[in-house]
Amino acid sequence: MSWYDTFARSFLDFQAMAEVLPNMVRVGLKNTLILAVASTFFGTLIGIVLAVMGISENRPLKLLARVYTDIFRGLPAIVTILIIGQGFARLGRDLFGPSPYPLGILALSLIAGAYIGEIFRAGIQSVERGQIDATRTLGMTYGQGMRLVVIPQGIRRVLPALVNQFIGNVKDSSLVYFLGLLASERELFRVGQDQAVLTGNLSPLLLAGVFYLVITVPLTHLVNYIDARMRVGKRISGVQSGLKEVAELAEAGVPGAAKSPARFKGGSIEVKNIDMAYGAVQVLHDVSLKVEPGTVTCLIGPSGSGKSTLLRCLNRLVECRAGDILLDGESIYSQTPDQLRRRVGMVFQQFNLFPDRSALANITLALRKVRGMSRQEAERAASARLHEVGLLERKDHRPANLSGGQQQRVAIARALALEPEIMLFDEVTSALDPELVKGVLNLMADLGRGGMTMVVVTHEMNFARKVANQVVFMDEGRIVEAGRPADLFDNPQSPRLRRFLSEVL
């Protein structure tokens, strides 16, 4: 007999396959899916708890999650299944009757939980810090930020890994057979193996193998497709040049130099002798500053001089070590950070838009969750803000489908939607292509003319000169000079400011 005949007799006995097929679908496939789905479901619940424990600040919880993960990831699956299935057989019988099947699910879930916990933890930790900063500046609590923004993004990022885990559970479900399943509980492998013993050839096992592939291969491809779709959203055509973006703003009524009527009720700020340190490194030394209502203050200075840190003290993204800050004459420490941040909006260099939400949804999220508006109210308000920044037509675009300048204008609209009294801008044009900078600066100048109190960290000296009421020069964590732009730029008093201006102008 040729090798092929031997092979065909062992593996290609179609009659043996046909005989086992009904049982394989009705019993094997069904039970494999129940085992895999149930253990992925319970494993996901365990994984979420482990991930939350793993990223918490509580050391005992962290340690517990670590120990759990090390044990269940380190042991071979079959060892865990046998220890749980046989070690707790008595208890299992009392609880679930003669079937070892529930204990099999429990063992698979405990193993899956260890892997899924690590997957979630990595996913959540991979979400940029700026995302949580953005939720905080929009007045969301830490819990809201995690639940509404960070965790969904983290889960989306790890979706392929989660599906891999499900595929792993489909395969590991075959190990439950070691617990001696009842006939009605046999999974694919066991049905194939029993039939192989009966017929004396391996064709039923091959058929079981085909079933495993039929479940796992399409799933992998499906998840890759969904993942790609979710990452960027639906592609929307309509890329435009940066020069056209300035026109977009003019159409929306942001005319650059024209006078706009006061439409904001800006608040006042008084910074009184604040010190701030990151650990042992003192970053701000005895900083005092007054910002009158409805004025624009530009903070300038070399890199690392503490400008961003000062800005972050104003909305308590970082906390001062000494001194006080008054908002409209009242200490910002007499209110919660969330209450304060509803009054003090902030826009960042990296935009920090939520990538998985449209421009409109980026704005409505805080309106609904922080301000408690209905969906309709929030959409109406968000549309009005988008119109003001010339982007109403692009309300359904995800950030990935917008230019940097457009993204920054959405970020400004998002902050304005909460109707703050103060707006903080942290180098908001530094990440933009040169031709997109003008559109964003025009918009900011318009806000200033509209009576918004603004504190702007910027390297755009022209903007500071033309738009600011007050320019503040910082160096090494101290305010070195502050005054009207003409005084600072044309008549700098300190050698440090003179040197700085000679380098940047």
* β-pairing verdict for 330-331 and 322-327: antiparallel
Q: Minimum Å distance from CB 470 to ligand ATP?
A: 17
Contact segment (CB under 6 A) with ligand ATP among 54-62, 149-157, 177-185, 305-313 equals 305-313
Q: Is 15 in the site for ligand ATP (CB under 6 A)?
A: no
How many angstroms separate the most distant Cα atoms in the chain?
102
Nearer to ligand ATP, 283 or 327 (CB): 283
Of residues 40, 173, 63, the one with CA closest to residue 113: 40
What one-letter code names the amino acid at 98?
P
Q: Is 496 in the site for ligand ATP (CB under 6 A)?
A: no
Tell me how far apart the alpha carbons of residues 501 and 505 are, in angstroms, rounded to a whole number. Answer: 6
Q: Is 303 in the site for ligand ATP (CB under 6 A)?
A: yes
Of residues 412, 392, 396, the one with CA closest to residue 404: 412
Q: Minimum Å distance from CB 472 to ligand ATP?
A: 11
- Write out the binding residues for ligand ATP, residues 137-176 only, by CB under 6 A: none
Q: Minimum Å distance from CB 349 to ligand ATP?
A: 8
Tell me how far apart the alpha carbons of residues 128 and 337 are, in angstroms, rounded to a whole number. Answer: 21
* Degrees to nearest 5, angle at CA 207 with 206 and 210: 90
Considering only 242, 306, 345, 485, the residue that binds ligand ATP (CB under 6 A) is 306
Of residues 400, 402, 397, 409, the one with CA closest to residue 239: 402
Considering only 69, 153, 305, 315, the residue that binds ligand ATP (CB under 6 A) is 305
Contact segment (CB under 6 A) with ligand ATP among 56-64, 303-311, 402-410, 435-443 equals 303-311
Q: Is 348 in the site for ligand ATP (CB under 6 A)?
A: no
Contact segment (CB under 6 A) with ligand ATP among 110-118, 301-309, 338-346, 395-403 equals 301-309
Tell me how far apart the alpha carbons of residues 114 and 119 are, in angstroms, rounded to a whole number. Answer: 9
Contact segment (CB under 6 A) with ligand ATP among 116-124, 181-189, 298-306, 399-407 equals 298-306
Tell me how far apart the alpha carbons of residues 31 and 327 are, in angstroms, rounded to a whole number. Answer: 64
Residues in the chain: 505
Contact segment (CB under 6 A) with ligand ATP among 138-146, 171-179, 299-307, 434-442 equals 299-307
What one-letter code names the amino acid at 52?
V
Q: Minimum Å distance from CB 362 to ligand ATP?
A: 24
Q: Minimum Å distance from CB 170 to ligand ATP?
A: 44
Q: Minimum Å distance from CB 423 to ligand ATP?
A: 17
Residue 303 φ then ψ, to 5°: -60, 135
Strand-pairing partners, residue 271, are 289, 325
204 and 196 Cβ atoms separated by less than 8 Å: yes
Residue 397 φ then ψ, to 5°: -80, 140
Q: Is 308 in the site for ligand ATP (CB under 6 A)?
A: yes
Contact segment (CB under 6 A) with ligand ATP among 165-173, 189-197, 307-315, 486-494 equals 307-315
Contact segment (CB under 6 A) with ligand ATP among 236-244, 304-312, 368-376, 397-405 equals 304-312
* β-pairing verdict for 453-457 and 344-347: unpaired
Q: Is 307 in the site for ligand ATP (CB under 6 A)?
A: yes
Tell me how far apart the alpha carbons of residues 337 and 206 are, in angstroms, rounded to a whole number. Answer: 63
Considering only 56, 97, 304, 396, the residue that binds ligand ATP (CB under 6 A) is 304
For ligand ATP, what does the binding mask look like between residues 421 and 460, x meaning CB under 6 A?
------------------------------------x---
Strand-pairing partners, residue 284, are 276
Contact segment (CB under 6 A) with ligand ATP among 119-127, 139-147, 296-304, 321-329 equals 296-304
For every residue of 322-333, DSSP letters joined together read EEEEEETTEEGG
Q: Is 309 in the site for ligand ATP (CB under 6 A)?
A: yes
What does the H/E/C string look like for 283-319? EEEEEEEEECCCCEEEEECCCCCCHHHHHHHHCCCCC
Strand-pairing partners, residue 472, are 299, 482
Q: Is 131 in the site for ligand ATP (CB under 6 A)?
A: no
Tell me how far apart the alpha carbons of residues 395 and 233 are, in angstroms, rounded to a whole number. Answer: 13
Nearer to ligand ATP, 309 or 470 (CB): 309
Nearer to ligand ATP, 386 or 474 (CB): 474
Nearer to ligand ATP, 283 or 382 (CB): 283
For ligand ATP, what does the binding mask look like between residues 255 and 284, x meaning CB under 6 A?
-----------------------x--x-x-
What is the Cα Rg of the chain in Å?
31
- Write out the binding residues for ligand ATP, residues 454-483 only, by CB under 6 A: 457
Is the alpha carbon torsion for 359, 456, 273, 334 positive or negative? negative
Q: Minimum Å distance from CB 311 to ligand ATP?
A: 8
429 and 412 Cβ atoms separated by less than 8 Å: no
Nearer to ligand ATP, 121 or 312 (CB): 312
Residue 340's CB is within 10 A of a number of other CB atoms, namely 19
Site size with ligand ATP, rule: CB under 6 A: 12
Q: Minimum Å distance from CB 303 to ligand ATP?
A: 3
Q: Minimum Å distance from CB 468 to ligand ATP?
A: 17
Tell me how far apart the alpha carbons of residues 239 and 262 are, in angstroms, rounded to a whole number. Answer: 34
Task: Report the run of H or E that residue 268 belongs to, with start and end.
Answer: none
Q: Is 321 in the site for ligand ATP (CB under 6 A)?
A: no
Q: What residue ranges bind ligand ATP (CB under 6 A)?
A: 278, 281, 283, 301, 303-309, 457
